[in-house]
Amino acid sequence: MNLKRTFGAVLTILGIVGLIYTAVGFLNNSGDTKALIVAGILGVIFFFTGISLVRTTKDES
């Protein structure tokens, strides 16, 4: 089991959670828009970093 791939999967899941949190916050018209923007940006960064780690890491046995 490759540690980089596992870390990439964790980052991807955290990114998805951050993006869902942001979407729900915007749909509910939450008053704290600055926090939602920060959560959205972090979600995008985590998501794409995780996907990149999973894609570029070679699976060596």
Average pLDDT for 45-50: 96
Q: Tell the burial category of 17 from Cβ atoms under 10 Å away from its Cβ (0-12, 13-18, 19+).
A: middle
Check residue 4 and give its pLDDT.
86
31 phi and psi angles, rounded to 5 deg: -75, -25
Check residue 61 and give its pLDDT.
61
Q: What is the mean pLDDT of the chain?
A: 90
Check residue 23 and give its pLDDT.
93
Tell me the per-residue pLDDT of 6-17, one tens digit each, with 9 for 90 and over: 899 999 999 999
Tokens representing residue 7 in the block: 């870390």
Check residue 58 and give its pLDDT.
80
Tell me the per-residue pLDDT of 25-37, one tens digit each, with 9 for 90 and over: 999 987 788 989 9
